[in-house]
Amino acid sequence: MDRLDAMNVFTRIVDARSFTRAAADLGLPRSTVTDAVKALESRLGVSLLHRTTRVVHPTPDGEAYYRRCLSILSEIEDAESAFDGAKVRGKLHIAVHGGLARHFLLPGLPDFLRHHPDIEIHLQEGDRLVDLVREGIDCAVRVGDPIDSDLVGRKLTDLDEVTCASPAYLHRHGTPHSIADLAEHQMVGFRTSATGKILPLEFLQKGEVRKVSLPASVTVSGTETLAHCARLGLGIIQKPRYSAADDLRAGRLVELLGDTPPPSSPVTVFYPKVRYVSPRLRVLIDWAVRAFKN
């Protein structure tokens, strides 16, 4: 294995915090990955990684070498991409909620891949808050305010939110016409993976955000389950208007308190500060910005 390949292997191990995951990502035997690091350490005369039974961390020397490797690999990739006719290629691992992917990204994905046929995309769906660096994810599309200062973010859009409940629920509990009326109601609780806490309902009233926590017989941690619970009449929910549109049109859900709507939620694409922005990631982010804008 030449030096550049060994650098690539080393940076992947640091990103994934695992020899096994790095080997899987690169399509190499684990023994090859292990031997590459041993050869690097022998040539440099330093220990690059702390190895435990559960996780791998760079040593201080390893951290310094890791950053130099990223810089070198970035310059090489940029240099090759600068030539006319050079193709953007490689794999991209993207974490995104399935609803966002299906509504905003997938419709334009065939056109994106026609323009960049040498890019391979893996979409990892879910509501879980992922560790981009440790899990080897290139970028994540998230709803809500940024909470991780180690990530670089580029805003994609703001999602309008809606407060709603099912006709069956409203038949049993009555329809609230003001925030004060909510005292007689209950919600389906949504427990966010970011903090583990149940989110309150939020309302914009006279330019200020009012937060209201209601009793909840059921709490969930998935947005699809949240909507299904609302359709079953288990309580009031708030969700992005785009994802509630079909239920609202069909009458399965009814919009509530339209004069005091929830504040909109920002959608941002995040990527790690420590990782160079490869040409393939740059073209993907630029495309995602256009997809959400359209």
pLDDT in tens, 31-77: 999 999 999 999 999 999 998 777 898 999 998 898 888 878 877 77
Q: Do domains 90-158+266-293 and 161-263 have the same CATH topology?
A: yes
d(CA 58, CA 41): 12
Residue 237 pLDDT grade (very low, low, confident, very high; cuts 50, 70, 90): very high
Q: Per residue in 78-92, pLDDT tens?
A: 677 656 556 788 788
> Torsion over CA of 13, 15, 18 and 21, rounded to 10 degrees?
-90
Superfamily, domain 90-158+266-293: Periplasmic binding protein-like II (3.40.190.10)
What is the rounded distance in angstroms from the CA atom of residue 72 to the CA atom of residue 77? 9
CATH architecture designation of domain 3-81: Orthogonal Bundle (1.10)
Instruction: Supply the pLDDT for residue 276.
Output: 58
The hierarchical CATH code for the domain 161-263 is 3.40.190.10
- Over residues 242-256, the mean pLDDT reads 97
Q: How confident is the model at residue 181 (pLDDT cuts 50, 70, 90)?
A: very high
Tally Cβ neighbours within 10 Å of residue 270.
Answer: 20
pLDDT beyond 60 at 275: no
- Indicate the range of 8-12, 53-57, 118-122 predicted with least confidence: 53-57
Give 104's pLDDT tier (boundaries 50, 70, 90).
very high
CA atoms within 13 A on the CB side of 142: 21
Rounded average pLDDT over 140-168: 87
pLDDT of residue 73: 81
Give the mean pLDDT of 106-126.
Answer: 91
Mean pLDDT of the region 173-192:
95
The model's confidence at residue 167, banded by pLDDT at 50, 70 and 90, is very high
pLDDT digits (tens, 9 = 90+) for 183-226: 999 999 999 877 789 999 999 998 899 999 999 999 999 889 99
The set of residues, in sequence order, having a beta carbon less than 8 Å from that of 198 and lying 6+ positions away, is 189, 190, 191, 192, 213, 216, 219
Res 178: pLDDT: 96
**pTM, whole model, 2 decimals?**
0.70
Please tell me the predicted confidence (pLDDT) of residue 71.
76
- The domain ranges of the chain are 3-81, 90-158+266-293, 161-263
Q: Which residue bears the tokens 């030096």?
A: 3
